[in-house]
Amino acid sequence: MFKHAIYCATLSLVVILPMSANANENTTSSSDQPKTMPYGDNPNIFRVLTYKTGQSISRLGHSMQRGADKSSEKISEKWQETKAFGTEQSQVAKEKTSEAKTYTEQKWQQTKDAVVGKNGGTVPIEQGNLSQSSTGQPTAAPASAAPASAISPTTSAAPLPESANP
């Protein structure tokens, strides 16, 4: 806090003293008079220091302004490049998302067709007569469409394997 107060006081002195010193001096420029310094012919040391400090601060301010202008241009360029890159990546992400959606829909349909069947979930079931002999050829009854959950087991005429008998 104390540093800031000293800095502000010094800066105000540097700015105000040269103005008041130049206001008190009455310099005339003519060709017969020798060139005088901006702080007079026989100045006080504090007046010279004040003038030189003011010049240094002025040069510093100008160089800071040039640096800020250059930085501002570079930052603006980088920002524009970043926005363009972001837009490009957004488009790529949208394309990849639509491709993934299409692929997922295709795989879902393939899985559904494999599990349920391609004809809307109905599986044709052959039904035979229960009173047929085991030696005769079964006659094919007309196929009827029944839902997959209504499949009933048909009796087999073949004898059971030996391991199935108790």
Q: Kindly report the pTM of this predicted structure.
A: 0.33
Domain boundaries, the chain: 2-20+39-108
For residues 126 and 52, the model is more confident at 52
pLDDT at 145 over 60: no
Structure token pair of residue 24: 């008190």
Residues 56 and 49: their CA atoms lie apart, in Å, by 10
57: CB partners within 8 A, 6+ apart: 11, 14
151: CB partners within 8 A, 6+ apart: 123, 125
3-class SS of residue 99: helix
* Average pLDDT across the chain, whole number: 74
Kindly state the helix (H) or strand (E) to which residue 82 belongs, with its residue range. Answer: helix 45-116
Residue 147's DSSP bridge partners are 122
For residue 102, report the phi and psi dihedrals to the nearest 5 degrees. Answer: -65, -45
pLDDT at 50 over 80: yes
pLDDT at 149 over 50: no
Give the pLDDT mean for 42-59.
Answer: 90
Q: Given this model, what pLDDT does residue 53 score?
A: 94
3-class SS of residue 144: strand
For residues 124 and 74, the model is more confident at 74
pLDDT at 80 over 80: yes
CB-hemisphere CA count at 13 Å for 146?
Answer: 11
Residues 114 and 112: their CA atoms lie apart, in Å, by 5
- The residue assigned the tokens 């029944």 is 146
Least confident of 42-46, 47-51, 121-125: 121-125
3-class SS of residue 2: helix
